[in-house]
Each structure stands twice: as structure tokens, then as C-alpha cells.
């Protein structure tokens, strides 16, 4: 019997699997997709049910030739690309490319361990046409958005910009959050804390109620009056209650929660976290073991875990921490509404392969992420933390002050996976109901209400998941694109929209309201799930998007504002002419600026605390004479080709002149003379040749009849 052929998408994955399958299997890698939509054209036949026009990806023809050679003479070919929609599309395209003479079997590899690999090979499944169609629909949706809308942004704003079905909606969230911060008006409020010193030690309590209503102190005077009212009164312990409270462990990681935790705990970007997780899944060389897959597949929205593996975790917990830390049966977690639940949560492939054992064998970032995944999974199978939470109400006059304290009675899962917030609320001395206390000190403190926080990568991922925008496997790419296109800036982990981000969002929201709608985008994600489940046809979903897209596209071609020419209204009055139009935000070769359509004045700007554009003062212009046409001052200005003299009466007076000896007070850079014997007239039109300088600062020879005659040549050297 000859060798069997298994095709996966990654060389690293092929290396790991090849080690376990042995000489009976030949394992090859496609290195991702081998065919895709063309780069240079839309590649979708809209009139023919949105039929895609696939082409071989540049550089993949050699790989296809090698795969065909490897497949020759083999009846069954196993396709082991990643167990998700993208992997299904890779498998489908490989089968289509290699031809129908083979029997293709899909192998779903959720973890790269000997047992899991052999189990997957022993129980292959057919390629899923509906899962492939779901991925193909997403690809076509993204292509329609990108290739039809992006050129509009190039024409109206800047070449190289991009629009995306999910990317643009994610940008809208960031921009709208920034505008919510701009619109926020902080309100003053005060809190009042009372400090006490009793036999058991000091403690503090905060004002909770005034009369029967929740305490609300708005001003310093109001707070001071209350302090004066309570200063001579005694406090009495009115209520004292201690309750047992349990804090249950968190479920094992999904793609989304892993990205959030990696950012919050390790300061690792979503893109980097997914890259490291991919490498841990595909396999790492370990001393004494060789190449080993350390975690299960890292693209998942499921919290489901294998019962057998959960049992192994319980055994490990009992032996390591004691029986009190292991529940009698595994902990299982309820799946989130709308989750595909296609495969398990992210977990280590072996619980007994602890981070301590791997210390020094992995790169630091790989070890950190593995340690995080391992701890989260093992902790998810532990008993809850038990706390004694005490609440004390102190009555004084017409007010109630309250203090709480939590003491950990049993650590439970916190012994392994500490939470980011401090669970221990503080120590409380022994107190009894009816006890009278004298206040040591009142501490009033001023506060201001805070605006909604700007997004970090972690909170943006959380927001996208909660609103069902995109899929967790795409979040890292979305955020990376927003940064690469300079739609957002990132400083100290905070995402802030740039002027380009504001402009692109404003143009798209106004001209494509359906596609930029959060609910519309979330509905498309649900449609993709329904395609995979075989409940709707993929071309129906494409038609549902294309109908509003085509309508809005036609209107936008005529109505979308051109920021290079007209600009968006800034609401700022022109400081030069105070004209009715006001200043517009435009985009030029040097970035965004303000321009007046009434008098053509321009200036740079910055945004104030409320997001309104604020013109920056222009540097004073040097006056070098008086205009002989209108009597206005002549000043020095700069263009792309250098400095020149111009009348300040522009645009009514368009008098301009080169800087030469006639314009007094200006240092002149004299053009070099042409070598003796060099032609002085243009050989094409007979007009005089002159020497000029280009924008790079180099001299060149050109015809004085430009632009009718465009004869030009480099300045002659020796």
C-alpha cells in the first residue's frame, strides 16, 4: 500500500503532523490559499448571481505543481486545513484545483497531538459545501465593499484609502466614542468619608444616604454645611451583616477573551497575540519531545471543553493543590447566544505540561501566552473562591454612612488565576450593632463625572463581539488595518481617531447609511451563519447587500463631497473675511487644513477640548513691496516650486512675480547660466529656453512656452 497524502496550509503544521503520522503519510503544505479573487479587478460577475472569478495567487503556481505531483497515483487525499470557514475554503479550492479523479476527505485537526491527529485521520468527513459558501459569501461581500467604495475615497479624498464591511463600522465606533467624549460636559460632585479609630484599629465609611434618598452632594458649600451639621454628633452602628459570597472561576478562553486578556495582562496587541497563539497551536520544538502542539485551535467562540480533558484537569488539581480545590464533577459553561460553537475553547493540549516545565524552552512572548492559557483553563475547573463580605451601616443624624469589607475565607481558583481587580475589599475591626462611635475626621472630596473612556484594543474587541460585528478571528486584522491606514493612532494603549479617520467616517456614514449601520452589519454576520447551516442561499445574502450598495453608490458618485476641492463645513467663521460660507476642512498634499470658499484664505488647525476645529495663527508674511495694479502689499509666499512674490489682494488681484532683484529685500538664488555654445532656443517651437528649479531642488532646462510646449531636459553638466 502506497503512502497517503495529507495537505495542510502551514509548513510548521505539516512538520508537527508528519512527526506523528510516520512514513505511511506524505504531508504537504499549501501555504494558505492557492487561488483567490484577482487583485487588479473586481473579480465578481454581479449579473451572473455574483459568480466569483478566481485566479491563481502570484507565486502559488509552483506549489500547485508540487501538490499535483504529490497527488499523482493517490486515490484518497486528506485535506487538513484549519477547522473553520477559511480552512474549508482552502480545502475546497485545493480539491477543485487538483481535479475530480481523487477521493477527498476533510480532516478536522482541533489539536496537534498524536491521539487527536490519528483520531481525525480515522474519522474524516466530507468537505462542507455550505461552510465553503459562507466563507465565499464573506469574501465577495468584502470585495464588493472594498472595490466599489474605496475608489470613491481615492477620488474624493486620498488615493490608497480603503473601505471595508467590518473595518469601516469598527472605525465608526471609535469615531463616535471620540465625539461622545467631545460632547461630554463634566459635572461637579462631592463625596464625604468619615474616618474612625476604634480598639480593633482604624476604618473608614462613606456617606450613603441623606434621609431616605441616595446621597448626592453637588457643591463644596453643600458638603461643608453637612460636615458642620454632623461634626458634634455621634455615630451608631445601625446595621451589621456578614454574608458568605462565592466568586466562580471564568470559563476557558475564546478568541475574543484571549485577545482581551493578552492586551490587558501582557500588553500584547491582538495581532501579536493571534500570531503567537497560531505558533503554539502548530507546534514548538521541546527538549526530549520534539515538535509538539501546545494548545488547541485558537479561532473559536466556544467555551465548550472535552469531558475527558476536564477529568484530567481535576486529577491534576487534586494532586497539586488538594481535593478541596477540585469540584466533584467538571465545570461546564453555557455558550454565548449566537456562538457557532464549532469546536472547543482554547486550552493546553496537556494539563500536565505546565508553564514551569516549559520555562526556558519557549520564547518569552510564547511562554507568557501559554502560561495565561494554561492558568485560565486549569482555573476554570477549580472550586469557587469563598469570601466573607461584611456590610456596616452607621447612622448619624439624618445620614447613613456605609462601609464594606471582604475577607477571603477560601482561595479556590484564585490560588492559580488572580483577577485583575483586588478581591480583598479591606479589613474591618470587630463591631457590634448599637455601638456608638466618635468620628476622628471628615474627608470631603471633589469629583467630576467622567466621559466614556476611549477604546483600547481589548475594549474595542469586546465592543465588536457584543455588537456581533465581524468574527473574533478577524478582529486582529481589523484593528491592524485601522492603524496601518492611519485612521487611528495608538498611544499608551489608547486608540484615538485621526483627522483621516473622522473624514472617512463622515463621508461613508452620510453616503452609505445602510452599510455603515451597526445593526445591518451584525445582521450580515447572522446571515453568514445561516448559509453555513444551509438555511438560506448565499446569492440571496449578496443581493440583499448589493441592492442598497448599488443605490447609494450611484448617488454618492454625484453627491459625495470632494475634500480636495470643496471640503466639509467646520462651523468656524473665516478670520479674514467673516464670509457667509465659513471655513471648510479640506485635504491637500500636506494634510488637512481650513480654507475659506469666499476669500480663499487658508490655515492649519487643531481641535479644541470639544472637538471643534480651531484655526492656528499664520506666521507673519514678509512684505517686499506694493502691488502696482491695486496698491495692496506684496508678500513672499511659497509653492511646491519655491518662493515667489504675490499680491495680498488675491483672489481679486492675481498679480504674482518671481523673486528677483526688482523685488527689494529678498535674497535671490540666481539660476546658473547655460554653458557657452548650448542652444538658447527650443528646437521644437523656437521660443527661448530658460533654467528653472524642480520640487526636488534640481535645476533643469525648459521651454519658456510652457505649458503649450513641454520640452524639458536636465541641466547640462561638464
**Rounded to an integer, what is the distance from CA 154 to the centroid of its chain?**
23
Read off the C-alpha cell for 359: 520555562
Helix (H, G, I), strand (E, B) or coil at 371: helix
**Phi then psi dihedrals of residue 220, to 5 deg:** -65, -40
From the list 20, 281, 297, 538, the catalytic residue is: 297
Distances (CA, A) of 319 to 350, 370, 385, 560: 15, 21, 19, 67
Instruction: Give helix 538-559 / helix 499-511 axis angle, nearest 10°.
Output: 110
Helix (H, G, I), strand (E, B) or coil at 84: coil
CA angle 269, 272, 274 (to 5 degrees): 110
The string of DSSP codes covering 453-478 is PPPBHHHHHHHHHHTT-S-HHHHHHH
CA distance 41 to 710: 34
Read off the C-alpha cell for 240: 451589621
Alpha helices in 72-166 (DSSP H): 85-98, 114-122, 129-156
How many Cβ atoms from other residues are within 10 Å of residue 203's Cβ?
A: 19
CA distance 495 to 455: 6
Q: Look at the block and give the residue holding cell 473622522.
A: 502
CA distance 142 to 515: 11
Task: Examine the residue annotation and report whether 297 is marked as an active-site residue of this protein.
Answer: yes
With CA atoms as reference, report the closest residue to 118 among 105, 128, 109, 130: 109
Read off the C-alpha cell for 258: 484571549
Q: How many helices (H) and strands (E) does the chain have?
A: 17, 33
CA dihedral 700, 704, 705, 711 (to 10 degrees): -20
Read off the C-alpha cell for 369: 501566552
With CA atoms as reference, report the closest residue to 330 among 343, 408, 345: 345
Q: Look at the block and give the residue holding cell 503567537.
A: 276
CB 384 within 8 A of CB 249: yes
Continuous segment of H or E residues that includes residue 702: strand 699-703
**Active-site residues: which are they?**
297
Amino acid at each position: 500500500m502506497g503512502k497517503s497524502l495529507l495537505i495542510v496550509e502551514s509548513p510548521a503544521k505539516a512538520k508537527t503532523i508528519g512527526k506523528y503520522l510516520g512514513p505511511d503519510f506524505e504531508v504537504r503544505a499549501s501555504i494558505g490559499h492557492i487561488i483567490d479573487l484577482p487583485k487588479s479587478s473586481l473579480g465578481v460577475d454581479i449579473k451572473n448571481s455574483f459568480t466569483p472569478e478566481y485566479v491563481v495567487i502570484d507565486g502559488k503556481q509552483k506549489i500547485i505543481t508540487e501538490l499535483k505531483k504529490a497527488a499523482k497515483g493517490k486515490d484518497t487525499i486528506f485535506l487538513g486545513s484549519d477547522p473553520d470557514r477559511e480552512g474549508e475554503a482552502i480545502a475546497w479550492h485545493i480539491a477543485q484545483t487538483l481535479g475530480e479523479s481523487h477521493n477527498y476527505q476533510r480532516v478536522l485537526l482541533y489539536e496537534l497531538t498524536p491521539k487527536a491527529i490519528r483520531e481525525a485521520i480515522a474519522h474524516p468527513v466530507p468537505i462542507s459545501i455550505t461552510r465553503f459558501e459562507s466563507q465565499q459569501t464573506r469574501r465577495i461581500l468584502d470585495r464588493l465593499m472594498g472595490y466599489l467604495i474605496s475608489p470613491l475615497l481615492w477620488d474624493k479624498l486620498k488615493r490608497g484609502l480603503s473601505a471595508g464591511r467590518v473595518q469601516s463600522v469598527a472605525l465608526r465606533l471609535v469615531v463616535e466614542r471620540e465625539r461622545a467624549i467631545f460632547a461630554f460636559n463634566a459635572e461637579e460632585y462631592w463625596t464625604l468619608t468619615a474616618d474612625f479609630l476604634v480598639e480593633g484599629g482604624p476604618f473608614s465609611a462613606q456617606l450613603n444616604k441623606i434621609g431616605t434618598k441616595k446621597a448626592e452632594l453637588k457643591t463644596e458649600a453643600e458638603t461643608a454645611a453637612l460636615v458642620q451639621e454632623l461634626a458634634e454628633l455621634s455615630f451608631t452602628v445601625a446595621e451589621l451583616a456578614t454574608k458568605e459570597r462565592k466568586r466562580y472561576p471564568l470559563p476557558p478562553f475564546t478568541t475574543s477573551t484571549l485577545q482581551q486578556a493578552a492586551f490587558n495582562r501582557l500588553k500584547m496587541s491582538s495581532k501579536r497575540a493571534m500570531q503567537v497563539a497560531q505558533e503554539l497551536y502548530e507546534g514548538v520544538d521541546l527538549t526530549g519531545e520534539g515538535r509538539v502542539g501546545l494548545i488547541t485551535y485558537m479561532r473559536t467562540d466556544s467555551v465548550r471543553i472535552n469531558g475527558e480533558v476536564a477529568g484530567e484537569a481535576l486529577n491534576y488539581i487534586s494532586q497539586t493543590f488538594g481535593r478541596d480545590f477540585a469540584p466533584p464533577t467538571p465545570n461546564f459553561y453555557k455558550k454565548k447566544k449566537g456562538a457557532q460553537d464549532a469546536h472547543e475553547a482554547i486550552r493546553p493540549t496537556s494539563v500536565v505540561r505546565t508553564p514551569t516545565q516549559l520555562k526556558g524552552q519557549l520564547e518569552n512572548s510564547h511562554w507568557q501566552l501559554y502560561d495565561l492559557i494554561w492558568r485560565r483553563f486549569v482555573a476554570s475547573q477549580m472550586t469557587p473562591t469563598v469570601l466573607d463580605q461584611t456590610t456596616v451601616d452607621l447612622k448619624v443624624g439624618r445620614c447613613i454612612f456605609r462601609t464594606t469589607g471582604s475577607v477571603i475565607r477560601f482561595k479556590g481558583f484564585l490560588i492559580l488565576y488572580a483577577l485583575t481587580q483586588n478581591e480583598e475589599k479591606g479589613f474591618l475591626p470587630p463591631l457590634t450593632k448599637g455601638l456608638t462611635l466618635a468620628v476622628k475626621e471628615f474627608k470631603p472630596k471633589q469629583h467630576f463625572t467622567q466621559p466614556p473612556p476611549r477604546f483600547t484594543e481589548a475594549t474595542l474587541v469586546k465592543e465588536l463581539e457584543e455588537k456581533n460585528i465581524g468574527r473574533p478571528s478577524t478582529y486582529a486584522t481589523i484593528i491592524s488595518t485601522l492603524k496601518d491606514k492611519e485612521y487611528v493612532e495608538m498611544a499608551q494603549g489608547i486608540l484615538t481617531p485621526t483627522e483621516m479617520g473622522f473624514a472617512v467616517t463622515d463621508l461613508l456614514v452620510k453616503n452609505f447609511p445602510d452599510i455603515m449601520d451597526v445593526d445591518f452589519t451584525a445582521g450580515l454576520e447572522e446571515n453568514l451563519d445561516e448559509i453555513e447551516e444551509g438555511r438560506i442561499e448565499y446569492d440571496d445574502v449578496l443581493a440583499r447587500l448589493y441592492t442598497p450598495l448599488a443605490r447609494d453608490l450611484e448617488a454618492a458618485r454625484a453627491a459625495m463631497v470632494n475634500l480636495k476641492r470643496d471640503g466639509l463645513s467646520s462651523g468656524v467663521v473665516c478670520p479674514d473675511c467673516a464670509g457667509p460660507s465659513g471655513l471648510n476642512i479640506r485635504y491637500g498634499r500636506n494634510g488637512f487644513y481650513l480654507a475659506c470658499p469666499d476669500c480663499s484664505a487658508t490655515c492649519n488647525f487643531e481641535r479644541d477640548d470639544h472637538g471643534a476645529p480651531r484655526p492656528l495663527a499664520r506666521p507673519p508674511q514678509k512684505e517686499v513691496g506694493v502691488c502696482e495694479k491695486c496698491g495692496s502689499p506684496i508678500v513672499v509666499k511659497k509653492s511646491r516650486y519655491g518662493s515667489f512674490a504675490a499680491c495680498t489682494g488675491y483672489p481679486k488681484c492675481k498679480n504674482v512675480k518671481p523673486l528677483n532683484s526688482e523685488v527689494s529685500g529678498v535674497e535671490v538664488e540666481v539660476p546658473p547660466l547655460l554653458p557657452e555654445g548650448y542652444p538658447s532656443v527650443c528646437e521644437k517651437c523656437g521660443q527661448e529656453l530658460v533654467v528653472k528649479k524642480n520640487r526636488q531642488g534640481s535645476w533643469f532646462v525648459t521651454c519658456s512656452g510652457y505649458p503649450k510646449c513641454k520640452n524639458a531636459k536636465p541641466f547640462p553638466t561638464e
